[in-house]
Amino acid sequence: MENELNNQSTEVPTTPVVEVTTTPVQVPVQNQVVEVPTTPVVVSPTVPAQEPGTEVKKEKKKITKKTIIRLSAVLVVILAVAAYFIFFYEWKPKLDPKDPKSVTEVYYNYLMDRDYSNALKYVFLPNDSYVDEDDFFSFVSNNSKLSMLYSKKIKEIKRISKVGNQATYEVIMDDDEIFNTNLNMLSDGYWYVVVDNLYITDWKVEVPGNSKLYIDNKEVNKTLSKLNDDTHSVYTIPAIAPSKKEFKIETSFDTYTTSFDVAGSNNGQKIIPELNKEEEINNALKYIKETWNSIYKDYTNSVSKEEVLKKYYDSKFTVEDMDIYYSKGFDSLTRKENKQYINTNIVLDSIIINPDKKSYIEANDVIRIEFGYKMTHTVDFVYSNAKDWEEYMTRYSSIELKKTNDEYKIYRITDDKLFNYLKYNTKEYK
C-alpha cells in the first residue's frame, strides 16, 4: 500500500477543482499521517501546465485585402501632396512691414503674380492721393520691364543703402535683370516702395471758391485749397495719376460734373462750371431787374448810401464804393447836372439771358450772369420848348450775385455801366 502510493504520479487537472472539507483527511505516507487543510483549494485553469523550456505560441492575424487597399490609398495621397509642394508650390515670403527687404520681396512677388491690387498696397503714396488700381494697372502695362515680370523669379535681393527713412535695394531676377528699388518709411515704421512716374505731385486745379470738390467721387480735403481773388479756390493735390479723372463741383446753386485727362504739367486746370438750372437763372434775372429798379427809387427818394449798401450789396462793399456805384452812377445816368435836359422815370423794363453767353458759377453761392436788358426813360427838356419824349436803350451786361439764405446780394459789379450812363455804345438784342 505504501509502495503503491509512493509510485503513483500526481496529475494536475485542467479544469478547476474546488474541494471543501470540514474534517481532516488522513493520507498515510510512509507510516505517517498527513492532515490536509480544510480550507478550499482553487487551481486556475487558464494556463495549462507546461513542461520546462516550452513557450506559448500567439496566434497571428492575417491582413485583409481591404486593409491593404486603404493603406495604399493613404500612401498615394501623402506622396501626391509631397510632390506638389516639392515641384509646384511656390513658397511666398512672409511679410514684415517694418523690414524694407521683406516689403521689397513681397511687392515684386505680387507683380510676378500679376496681382496688381495687392501690389499697390505696398506703393508709397502721399496722403490725399488720387491713384487707384486702374491707374496702377495702366502704369504697369505700359512699362515693358514690369509687365514681363510674370515670367521671372527673384534670384537675390541686395541692400544698397539704408539711411533714416529711406532705403535702396537691388532686385536681381533669374535672368540677371536688375531692378533698383527705392523705399520710404512712414511715421508708423512701415516701409513702402517708391514708384517713379506713377503720379504727378502737387498738381493744381482751380474751382469756384468755397465749393466742394470731388475727384472720382471722393471729396477733396478742404485744407488743400487756398482762396484766390475771393472768387476761386486753388487746390493743390499731393499726388494724382496722369489719367482721365471725373471732377464734380458742388455748390448751393447746382452740381457740375466734368471729366478730362490729367497729364503733364502741374500748373493747374481751371474749371468754371456752367449754371444749368433754368429756374435758378430766371430767379437771378428777376432779382437783377427788381433790385435795379428799387435802387433807382431809393436814389430818387434820397435814401442814404449806408441804407442802400445794407439792403442790396454784399458785405465786401464799402461806403466809398457807393460813391461810384450809387451817387455818381445815378447822377450820370439821370444827367442831373445837365442844364438842357435830364432823364427821368428810368425803368429797367426787361431782362433776358444773353444767347451768346452762358451763366457761370464763379464761386460757391456766387454766379456770374451774362444778360441783355432794355431800359426805358423819359427825356425832360428843362430850358427849351422841345417836346419831351420817351426812349429806350438795349445792351448786354453782366453782374455777379451772391446767394445767402435764399436771398441775393450784389457780389461784384462786373459792368459798372449798368449803374452808370457813361457814353457806351449800345448793342441791340433781339
140: pLDDT strictly greater than 60: yes
Over range 233-248, report the average pLDDT: 93
Over range 396-409, report the average pLDDT: 85
Tens digit of pLDDT for each residue in 10-31? 444 444 444 444 445 444 444 4
Number of domains in the chain: 3
**Do 185 and 265 belong to one domain?**
no
**Do 407 and 288 belong to one domain?**
yes
Place of cell 445837365: 338
Q: Minimum mean pLDDT among 129-143, 170-184, 200-214: which range?
A: 200-214
Determine, yes or no, domain membership for 80. Answer: no
Place of cell 433790385: 291
Q: What is the 3-state secondary structure (H, E, C) of 178-227?
A: EEEEEEEECCCCCEEEECCCCCEEEEEEEEEECCEEEECCEECCHHHEEE
**Do 284 and 266 belong to one domain?**
no
For residue 13, what pLDDT is reported?
46
Last residue of a domain, one of 217, 241, 270: 270
Q: Minimum mean pLDDT among 56-60, 138-142, 411-415: which range?
A: 56-60
**Do 174 and 287 belong to one domain?**
no
CB-based contacts of 385, cutoff 8 Å, min separation 6: none
Determine, yes or no, domain membership for 293. Answer: yes
CA 301 – CA 343 distance, rounded (Å): 16
- Alpha helices, DSSP H, located in 251-304: 278-300
Determine, yes or no, domain membership for 14. Answer: no
- Alpha helices, DSSP H, located in 133-176: 133-141, 144-147
394: pLDDT strictly greater than 90: no
Last residue of a domain, one of 219, 253, 270: 270
**Do 288 and 255 belong to one domain?**
no
What CATH code is carried by the domain that includes residue 376?
A: 3.10.450
What CATH code is carried by the domain that includes residue 150?
A: 3.10.450.50
Q: pLDDT > 90: what percent of the chain?
A: 38
CB-based contacts of 342, cutoff 8 Å, min separation 6: 334, 335, 336, 379, 380, 382
CB-based contacts of 388, cutoff 8 Å, min separation 6: 378, 379, 380, 381
Last residue of a domain, one of 152, 171, 194: 194
For residue 225, what pLDDT is reported?
92
Residue 130 CB neighbours (<10 A): 21
Tens digit of pLDDT for each residue in 61-113? 667 777 777 777 777 777 766 665 555 545 556 789 999 999 999 999 999 99
**Do 185 and 249 belong to one domain?**
no
For the chain, give the longest Cα–Cα distance: 194
Tens digit of pLDDT for each residue in 28-63? 444 444 454 555 544 445 545 555 555 555 555 667
What CATH code is carried by the domain that includes residue 225?
A: 2.60.40.10
For residue 61, what pLDDT is reported?
60
Over range 260-289, report the average pLDDT: 82
Which of 154, 173, 157, 169 is CA-nearest to residue 90?
154
pTM value? 0.63
Domain that includes residue 243, residue range: 202-270
